[in-house]
Amino acid sequence: MFKKIKIITIVSFCTIIYSSALQAKGGQPEVELSHWWNQPGELQAVDEIRKAVEQRGAKFVETRIASWDSLRSNILKRISMGYAPAVTQWLANDYTFSFEQMSAIYPMPSKWRDQPIEEVLFKEVYKGLSSENGLVGLPMGIHIMNSALFSKRIYDELNLTPPKTWSEVLTQSLVIKEAGYVPIALSKEAWQLQVVMGSVLLGELGSVNYKQFFIKGQSIKPWKKPLVRSFETFLGLKKFTDREARDRSWAESVSMIGDNKAAMHFLGDFAKSELTAKGYVAGEDFLCSLAPDSKGYMVYSIDSFLMFNVNDHLIEEGQRILFDVALDPEVQAKYTNKKGGIPVRHGVNVNHLDTCAKEMYQQWVLKDNKTISFTGIGNPLRASFLQKVLEEAWNNDGLTAEELVSMLIEMDEEALTKTK
C-alpha cells in the first residue's frame, strides 16, 4: 500500500518538475488536433485523450470539421499554404503514405517507453501504418466494420438468439415484425448501406474473393452470381425496415436499438458509441456480435492520427506527449470503450473493456485470428459505384437484384475501359 503511494507521489512530482521546466523554457506544450468526430460518443472518446494530454501538462486544442471529405480538403489546403496542422485524425489508407512522400509527416518513434513499437502494436496495425521508414501514423483504435447490435430486451422478450446467418435474420424479422417492433434499423445514408452490403458480400463471396473485390483495375464480372445473391439479400433486408428509415440518419438508427424500437442494426462497431453516450450498457441493454455469415472473420479499419512536420518546439513536444499517452493501455481501454472498436496494442487489461470490446479483443489476440483489412477506402471509385446502386435499390421499389447488378457492372466496366 505504502509503496504504491510513494510511486504515485514520485511520478506526480516528476510530472510537475517536467512541466515546470517546459514552462520555464518559454511556453506550454500544445496538441492541436483536427478531426471529424462530432457525435456524442466520439467526442467523449476525444475527451479521454484530452484528459490524458492535460495530465502531462500540455494544452489540448481541437478543431472539429463536419465530415471526412471536408477534413481531407482542409488538410490538403493547409499543407499547400504552408500551414499544416500539428495532428489530424485520418483513416489509414494508401493516401497516408502520400503525405510521407511529400515529407509532410515524419515517422513515429521506433520505441514506446523503451519497447520496440513493432512489438507493442498488433501486427496488422503496424503493417497497415508502416512504410520502409517505420510507423508513419499513430494508431488509435481498430474498428470492426462487419458488426451487429441487438436490442437485448426485444431478444429476451421473444426468446431469440442473435442470428448467425442472413437467412436467420430474415426469418427472425417475421417474428419481430409480428410482435410490433421494427426488425432492422437502417438509415438513408449511402455509406451505411455500403457497410451493410459489405457484410453481406463477405458471406457470399467468401474471404478470398472479398479481399479481391476492391482491387483496382480488376473486373467484377466474374462475381455476377454472388453479387445477385447479395443484392437479393439486401432487398430482403429492406423489406424489414420502416418507412421513416428513408429520412433517418445513421446515429438515429442506432438509437432505435437502445430505445427498444428496433431489434437489429448492422454497421461498424463505432455505432456502439451512440448507445454508450446515452448511458446504455453493453451486455445489459444491448448485445454485440459479428455480422451474420462472417464465419469468424473481422473486417477492420484503423483510426489513426497523423503528425505533421511543424517547426515549433512546443508543438513538437505536444506530439511526443500525444504519442506516449495515446498508446498507454489504460488510455486505450478508456478511449475504445467510448469510441467503439478495440485497442491497437497488446497488453490491455480485458477487465477494463466493456463486454462488446472484450469479446472482440479476445478474438483478435488469438494466434489463428481471421482478419481482413477494410479495402473499400482503397478503391473509392468502385465504392462510389456500389453506393450509387445501393441508393437506387433503397429509393426505388421496382428494381430487381439482376437489374441492380447489371447497373453496377456497367458503371465499373466503363471506368475500367477509360483507365486502360
Confidence of residue 420 (pLDDT cuts 50, 70, 90): low
Give the CA count within 13 Å in the CB-facing half-sphere of 257: 35
Over the stretch 59-83, which tens digit does the pLDDT of each residue have?
999 999 998 889 989 888 988 888 8
Same domain, 162 and 186: yes
* Among 246, 252, 247, 278, residue whose Cα is nearest residue 267: 252
**In this model, does residue 99 exceed pLDDT 90?**
no
Q: Are the beta carbons of 302 and 127 closer than 8 angstroms? A: no
**In this model, does residue 372 exceed pLDDT 50?**
yes
- Is 410 a domain residue? yes
Q: Which residues contact 54 (CB under 8 A, 6 or more apart)?
A: 60
Q: Are the beta carbons of 381 and 418 closer than 8 angstroms? A: no
Same domain, 37 and 58: yes
- The DSSP letter of residue 108 is P
Mean pLDDT of 280-287: 97
Q: Are the beta carbons of 265 and 227 closer than 8 angstroms? A: no
Mean pLDDT of 260-268: 97
- Is 362 a domain residue? yes
Same domain, 241 and 313: no
**In this model, does residue 229 exceed pLDDT 60?**
yes
Over the stretch 125-153, which tens digit does the pLDDT of each residue have?
999 999 998 999 999 999 999 999 999 99
Same domain, 263 and 175: yes
> Of 333, 351, 369, which one is at a domain's C-terminal end?
369
The count of other CB atoms within 10 Å of the CB of residue 158 is 15
Same domain, 109 and 245: no
Over the stretch 180-216, which tens digit does the pLDDT of each residue have?
999 999 998 999 999 999 999 999 999 999 988 988 8
**pLDDT for res 16:** 36
How far is 146 from 169, CA to CA, in rounded Å?
A: 15
Q: Provide the number of structural domains found in the chain.
A: 2
The count of other CB atoms within 10 Å of the CB of residue 209 is 15
Q: Which residues contact 403 (CB under 8 A, 6 or more apart)?
A: none
How far is 335 from 353, CA to CA, in rounded Å?
A: 10
**In this model, does residue 259 exceed pLDDT 50?**
yes
**pLDDT for res 24:** 37
**pLDDT for res 6:** 31
- Is 155 a domain residue? yes
How does strand 87-91 pair with strand 30-35? parallel
Provide the residue range defining the domain that includes 197.
Answer: 147-296+379-419
- The DSSP letter of residue 270 is G
Same domain, 36 and 155: no
**pLDDT for res 13:** 32
**pLDDT for res 375:** 66
Same domain, 99 and 189: no
Same domain, 110 and 155: no
- Find the radius of gyration of the CA atoms of the chain: 23
Same domain, 265 and 404: yes
Same domain, 238 and 99: no
Confidence of residue 258 (pLDDT cuts 50, 70, 90): very high
b/e map of 223-250 (b: 16 or more CB within 10 Å)? beebbbbbbbbbbbbbebbbeebeebeb
* Among 293, 262, 287, 289, residue whose Cα is nearest residue 166: 293
Say which residue the cell 477487465 belongs to: 351
Same domain, 351 and 259: no
Confidence of residue 19 (pLDDT cuts 50, 70, 90): very low
How far is 356 from 314, CA to CA, in rounded Å?
A: 38
- Is 374 a domain residue? no
Over the stretch 41-63, which tens digit does the pLDDT of each residue have?
999 999 999 999 999 999 999 99
Here the CATH number for the domain that contains residue 414 is: 3.40.190.10
Same domain, 46 and 128: yes
Q: Is 399 exposed, middle or buried (0-12, 13-18, 19+ CB in 10 A)?
A: middle
pTM exceeding 0.85: yes
Mean pLDDT of the chain: 90
* 3-state DSSP helix/strand/coil % of the chain, to nearest 5: 55, 15, 30
**In this model, does residue 20 exceed pLDDT 70?**
no
Q: Is 419 exposed, middle or buried (0-12, 13-18, 19+ CB in 10 A)?
A: exposed
- Is 28 a domain residue? yes
Confidence of residue 21 (pLDDT cuts 50, 70, 90): very low
> What secondary structure does DSSP assign to 178-209, as a single string?
HTTSEEEE--S-HHHHHHHHHHHHHHHHHHHH
Q: Are the beta carbons of 22 and 28 closer than 8 angstroms? A: yes
Question: How large a percentage of the chain has pLDDT more than 70?
Answer: 92
Confidence of residue 26 (pLDDT cuts 50, 70, 90): low
- Is 50 a domain residue? yes
